[in-house]
């Protein structure tokens, strides 16, 4: 898919602030600093539409990016930042739970994990929640350019094992630096929309 138009349509915390459920959405979850903003920027072919922040954990909002007036990519607040206080953590999970519980035009929730590291307990918790909610469990393994291609399979196996994924094709190594799989990712999303 060619991205002709991309805009940050809405920044929301609670349901009453969400944009209407008029077009389909794909949401992205993951630890702070995993590369979520970079992924969205790569997909939208923008350098800086989604904020990439040097202070991870700052964003406590759901950001709705409207693409070609056709679908939305939704950036969920990142989790797992050590310096966040307990009350902020509960705000974080409250924001995500509310969105996942009410959103009817949400087609997939996709987990992002760093290809270099074993997923954390929180990643597993998020992934189980995604599966329990009936989504297919696509995982994007970010920062793939930081390891050699020959190492992909080993790292993908580690991720699959920790998250309990049987079909390793569900784990997609992705580099926002190289942007070589952007077109393939759009094809995956478009296939999901069509089915
Ligand atoms: P977020 O907190 O999940 O939105 O993470 P960001 O997108 O802000 O990325 C965190 C850091 O990782 C930034 O310094 C990015 O430049 C870097 N980063 C993100 N994706 C990639 C990638 O695919 N390759 C490399 N080499 N660095 C990346």
What local confidence, expressed as pLDDT, does residue 58 receive? 56
Mutate to test the pocket of ligand 1, among 35, 37, 115, 172 (most ligand atoms within 8 A of CB): 35
143 contacts: CB under 8 Å, gap ≥ 6: 35, 114, 115, 116, 175, 176
Looking at the DSSP bridge assignments, the partners of residue 109 are: 27
* CA nearest neighbour of 28 among 6, 17, 43: 43
ipTM over 0.90: yes
What local confidence, expressed as pLDDT, does residue 57 receive? 47
Q: Which residues line ligand 1 (CB under 6 A)?
A: 30, 32-38, 52-53, 56, 78, 142-143, 145-146, 175-177
* CA nearest neighbour of 12 among 77, 79, 106: 77
**Ligand 1: distance of its center to the CA of 106 in Å?**
25
Render each residue's pLDDT in the chain as its tens digit; 195 residues.
899 999 999 999 999 999 999 999 999 999 999 999 999 999 999 888 887 554 544 558 999 999 999 999 999 999 886 666 766 666 788 899 999 999 999 999 999 999 999 999 999 999 999 999 999 999 999 999 999 999 999 999 999 999 999 999 999 999 999 999 999 999 999 999 998
Kindly report the CATH class assigned to 6-194.
alpha beta
CA–CA dist 37, 19 (Å, integer): 20
What local confidence, expressed as pLDDT, does residue 134 receive? 94
User: What's the first-to-final CA gap in the chain, in angstroms?
Assistant: 17
**Ligand 1: distance of its center to the CA of 35 in Å?**
4
* CA nearest neighbour of 122 among 138, 176, 130: 130
CA–CA dist 127, 110 (Å, integer): 9
CA–CA dist 117, 137 (Å, integer): 18
- CB atoms under 10 Å from CB of 42, counted, come to 22
């Amino acid at each position: 898919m060619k991205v002709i138009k991309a805009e940050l349509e809405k920044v929301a915390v609670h349901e009453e602030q969400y944009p209407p459920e008029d077009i389909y959405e794909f949401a992205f979850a993951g630890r702070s600093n995993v590369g979520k903003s970079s992924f969205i920027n790569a997909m939208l072919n923008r350098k800086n539409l989604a904020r990439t922040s040097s202070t991870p954990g700052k964003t406590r909002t759901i950001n709705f990016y409207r693409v070609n007036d056709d679908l939305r990519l939704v950036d969920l607040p990142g989790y797992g930042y050590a310096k966040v206080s307990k009350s902020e953590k509960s705000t974080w999970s409250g924001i995500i739970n509310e969105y996942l519980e009410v959103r009817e035009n949400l087609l997939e929730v996709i987990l992002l994990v760093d290809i270099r590291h074993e997923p954390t307990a929180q990643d597993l918790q998020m992934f189980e929640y995604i599966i329990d909610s009936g989504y297919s469990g696509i995982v994007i393994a970010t920062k793939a350019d930081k390891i050699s291609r020959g190492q992909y399979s080993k790292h993908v196996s580690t991720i699959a094992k920790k998250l309990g994924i049987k079909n390793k094709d569900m784990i997609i190594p992705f580099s926002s630096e190289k942007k070589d799989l952007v077109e393939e990712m759009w094809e995956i999303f478009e296939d999901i929309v069509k089915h």
